[in-house]
Amino acid sequence: MSKLTTAGQRFREALAAEQPLQIIGAINANHALLAKRAGFKAIYLSGGGVAAGSLGMPDLGIISLDDVLTDVRRITDVCDTPLIVDIDTGFGPSAFNIARTIKGLTKFGAAGCHIEDQVGAKRCGHRPGKEVVSTEEMRDRVKAAVDARTDDSFYIIARTDAIASHGVEAGIERGLACMEAGADAVFAEAAYDLETFAKFKKATGAPLLANITEFGKTPLFSVEELKSVGVNMVLYPLSAFRAMNKAAETVYQAVRRDGHQRNVIDIMQTRDELYDRINYHAFESSIDTLFAQGKSK
């Protein structure tokens, strides 16, 4: 891979090579390496994942830009798989805040992001009671993000949450407005059937992202099903995170109950597996080489 390619260019290459492109959630740098090892061509950092995983808080617009950038940097420092980032409503009320967000993401090595049309006091996209801003305000958010790009390949996805509160046609209207403002793709959040994705695709003609999150409003459609209605990107934002949490809870309960961990060893990653996944032995060899050089002087 050429060092001259940007993260955004690598994402666009992945999108051209794999249709639909599977984008898997990575809650931290370790998971990013595991996702790359599994063969994924693009990874994702969820805002809800940052809130719950890094801060132990709900997905209610509580996190800050700095919270997200910290996790972005940790991932991009060790993994070159292109990273798409959830920036909620842009981390601020004005175009200046959104511009700062885009520039920060680019500087820290992200390939792109999605920005949504919820109000500042946002909710998880699959919860009731969501409120959205006007189409005009969402268009302005997207334009601010597009205008702030210092790398034309940085990929900007416009997410609309309007389906739940205003209906599919309203969501399509917003998608069209966002594409006119320069968005690269449309994200139809909480679409509830394949027909809805097909309507978005036919009306907008835009690259389309489907969020296939567990326990939400959207059924767990397969890649082939989504491909049949024109979806270009399939997002799995927190699948590994949910499994990790369940496993951790199981281990904590077992150790506390049994007084030992023998009954849960079989669900643990081994020491050798961990060392292999994070390239431990290569680092250790470097230390040995340095010590050997020092002794020879």
Residues known to be catalytic: 44, 59, 86, 88, 114, 116, 124, 159, 189, 211
Tokens of 145: 């993000």
Give CA separation, 104 vs 96, 211, 249, in Å: 12, 25, 35
User: Is 61 marked as a binding-site residue?
Assistant: no
Q: How far apart are CA 248 and CA 252, in angstroms?
A: 6
Tokens of 101: 């967000």
Give the bridge partners for 132, in sequence order.
Answer: 118
| 182 within 8 A of 156, measured Cβ to Cβ | yes
User: Is 88 marked as a binding-site residue?
Assistant: yes
User: Is 211 marked as a binding-site residue?
Assistant: yes
Q: 103 Cβ partners below 8 Å, 6+ apart? A: 148, 150
Q: 74 Cβ partners below 8 Å, 6+ apart? A: 28, 29
User: Is 213 marked as a binding-site residue?
Assistant: yes
User: Is 159 marked as a binding-site residue?
Assistant: yes
User: Is 124 marked as a binding-site residue?
Assistant: yes
Q: How far apart are CA 57 and CA 23, in angstroms?
A: 24
User: Is 189 marked as a binding-site residue?
Assistant: yes
User: Is 180 marked as a binding-site residue?
Assistant: no
Q: Which of 240, 214, 218, 216 is nearest to 231 (CA)?
A: 218
User: Is 86 marked as a binding-site residue?
Assistant: yes
User: Is 37 marked as a binding-site residue?
Assistant: no
Residues of the binding site: 46-48, 86, 88, 124-125, 159, 189, 211-213, 242, 271
Residues of the binding site for Mg(2+): 86, 88
Residues of the binding site for substrate: 46-48, 124-125, 159, 189, 211-213, 242, 271
